[in-house]
Amino acid sequence: MDFVTQHPVLVVSLIKIAIALFVVMTALAYLTWFERKVVARIQSRWGPYWVGPHGLLQPLADGIKFLFKEDVIPPAADKVTYLLAPFLALALALTTLALIPIGPATISILGQPTQLVISHSPVGLILLFAISSIGVYGVALAGWSSNSKYPLLGGLRSSAQMISYEVSLTLSVVGVLLIAGSLDFYNIVGGQSGHWWHFLPKWHVFPQFLGFICYLTAAIAETNRVPFDLPEAETELVAGFHTEYSSFKFAMFFMAEYGNMITVSCLATLLFLGGWLSPFPETGAWRWQLYLPAAGLIIGGIALIIGGLRSVQWNAKAVFPVLGIICIGVGYLCTWQSVMPVIQGPFWFIAKVFFLLFFYVWARGTLPRFRYDQLMAFGWKFLLPLALINLVGTSLVEVLRLPR
Amino acid sequence: MSVAMLVFFACGVMAVLGAIGLILAREPVHSALSLVLVMVALAVLYLLLGAAFIAAIQILVYAGAVMVLFIFVIMLLNAGVEVRTNLSRLARWVGIPLAIVFLVEMAYAMSREYGARTAMAAGGAAAGPVPASTQALSMKLFTEFVLPFELTSILILIAILGALVLAKKEA
């Protein structure tokens, strides 16, 4: 215990990192399941169904499969760089999450008061952009080091795409910074509290709608997702930059992609959608909103029990009611006076991030892929001017609003 | 030894190793990656000094933009492995003496600074690192140093125009 008392901040940070890593890894795994289910629903299919009830164990099965596949390293590959690339991609994708706060509450771990964020920095936003900007190395190096045609072309494409869209992504956020006047996530979200005309929340998405659209588009391109997934266009490039990767190294690229999706969704939530703030006013008449997390969990639990009992799959009959009872139990826990205020922030934050992730999947199920020249023209000739117009307009309004 | 000290030495060693690797690597991509390592290690050192903004900008601009373009160009041109030559005459007669002079100069400056610090610490006025806030930095940049700032932007504009003119000739 000596070490704990001597370095309380370090130990608490390590505990928080362990919890966050566990939660994020599980979320990553089930995001793939969620995506396959939603895309299947859009295309009138069932999606994963047979591994576990409703395919719920599919991510686990995929993980085991990746672990036991043969790990092929091409003989012509540049060994060190080839091995470095997937680690770089995944590590950077997960590191960015350390800067994202999920709630305003202060909790106590080992008697040490601490915030709901791993690393609170006064320049959090720029640090986050800095870390995610070196994420492109994973993709570029994977393409180069494989020493093969398709990965090289895929790596080149994706580097060019990520460099191009990073400009629009960063510029679209500057408008929010001008209004918030801070690079600290806590200040940025704090500035979005309150309501216009008593009903419209003061989220930045309303005055910065143009910026929000720019951000969302650039973010989809930045994470190499449909309709901007040119780096891995199957019909042209086999699988793009990760063609030569197999086994768990391929899985690491896969996880990095989903990790980046979560990061940009969290960032959009913090910057534009009011972060952990509830959309309802905080006045006395709206006190019932404090029970929303508990109500959601309990209703979800009841639905799970009923759905499980009516299912034709025998394992769903066994597993879903148990999950439902756990849900109801956690929901009851959320009504405790000590837990309720802490749970509000994370509840709204996760709900908004979830909505954005659904939007991502929805876009993938709906939109066709761009052609490469269309992609470049769209980024430089449409998105960048739009972001610039938004920036100039916002600065003008902010200058006019300054007290003289 | 404190945790900050450990991080400092780890990053210092990383920066030096990266700089050596940059010169010794024969594959251009490896050289570029070593330079990225130097940039990142420097950024962590800035963080230790309490200059979070500078650290973030260091990574964002150098590691995230400049070096990515370097690697992109190396990949695009498919630059081959460098050919090793013996030391050129210029390197032997000018380079090595210059390197020695530079090393001695740096060692002298550092020892003098160290002496001044210890004297100051003995005198009671310990010079701790001043946390550089973003606000203070931008205040300085846009009032006192606004002329160099604007001149730099004109320089970059000229560079962009030059690149455009060169690209036009090709087409």
Which residues of chain A lie closer than 8 angstroms to B31, CB-CB?
A: none
> Rounded to an integer, what distance in angstroms lies between the CA atom of residue A208 and that of residue A214?
10
- As given in the structure block, the two tokens for residue A99 are 């800067």
Q: Enumerate the domain spans of chain B.
A: 1-82, 133-171
Across the interface, whether the CB atoms of A141 and B33 are under 8 A apart is answered yes
- A81 chain-B contacts, CB cut-off 8 A: 29-30, 33
Instruction: Find out whether B71 and B32 touch, Cβ atoms under 8 Å.
Output: yes
Which tokens belong to A301?
Answer: 């639990």
Q: How far is B3 from chain A (nearest CA, A)?
A: 9
Q: Check if the beta carbon of residue A130 is closer than 8 Å to that of residue B59.
A: yes
CB contact under 8 A, B65 and A133: yes
Q: What is the pTM of this model?
A: 0.84
At A2 the pLDDT is: 67
Q: Residue range A92-107: average pLDDT?
A: 85
With respect to CATH, is domain B1-82 assigned 1.50.10.100? no
Q: Which of A116-125, A130-139, A237-246, B39-48 has the lowest average pLDDT?
A: A237-246
> Residue A1 above 60 pLDDT?
no
What is the phi/psi pair of residue A275, to 5°? 50, -120
DSSP state of A280: S
Please list the pLDDT of chain B residue by residue as tens digits (171 residues). 677 888 889 999 999 999 998 888 888 888 888 999 999 899 888 888 878 888 888 888 888 888 888 888 888 887 777 777 766 777 778 888 898 999 999 999 988 888 777 777 666 554 454 556 777 788 888 888 899 999 999 999 999 999 888 888 765
Q: State residue A96 phi and psi, 5-degree precision.
A: -60, -30
CB contact under 8 A, B33 and A10: no
Residues of B near A (CB-CB distance < 8 A)? 3, 27, 29-30, 33, 36, 40, 43, 52-53, 55-57, 59-60, 63-65, 68-69, 71-72, 75-76, 133-134
Cβ contact A365:A43 at 8 Å: yes
Residue B36's nearest CA partner among B23, B19, B53 is: B19
Nearest residue to A341 via CA among A282, A268, A401, A398:
A282
Provide the residue count of chain B.
171
Alpha carbon distance, N-terminus to C-terminus of chain A: 58
| Distance (Å, whole) CA A34 – CA A390 | 34
ipTM over 0.85: no
Q: What angle do CA A341, A345, A348 make, to 5 degrees?
A: 125
A177 CA: distance to closest CA in chain B (Å): 13
* In contact, A165 and A218? CB cutoff 8 Å: yes
Q: What are phi and psi of A279, to 5 degrees?
A: -75, -10
In the numeric block, which tokens belong to residue A403?
């007290």
A88: pLDDT strictly greater than 50 = yes
B72 vs A159: CB contact, 8 Å cut-off? yes
Distance CA A176, CA A158 (A): 27
Q: Strand A112-115 relative to strand A106-109: parallel, antiparallel, unpaired?
A: antiparallel
CB of A381 within 8 Å of a chain B CB? The answer is: no
> B-contacting residues of A 139-178, CB under 8 Å?
140-141, 143-145, 152, 155-156, 159-160, 163, 166
Average pLDDT of every residue of chain A = 83
Q: b/e per residue, B72-87, with b = 16+ CB within 10 A?
A: bebbeeeeeeeeeeee
Q: Determine the average pLDDT of the residues in A227-245.
A: 71
Question: Does the distance separating the beta carbons of B3 and A10 come in below 8 Å?
Answer: yes
Residues of B in contact with A129 (CB under 8 A): 56, 60, 64
pLDDT tens string A56-85:
888 888 888 888 888 888 887 788 888 888
Q: What ranges in A148-199 are assigned the alpha helix state H?
A: 149-180, 185-190
- Taking CA–CA distances from A84, the nearest residue in chain B reads B33
Domain ranges of chain A: 2-277+336-401
| Closest partner CB to A183 (pick from B36, B65, B134) | B134
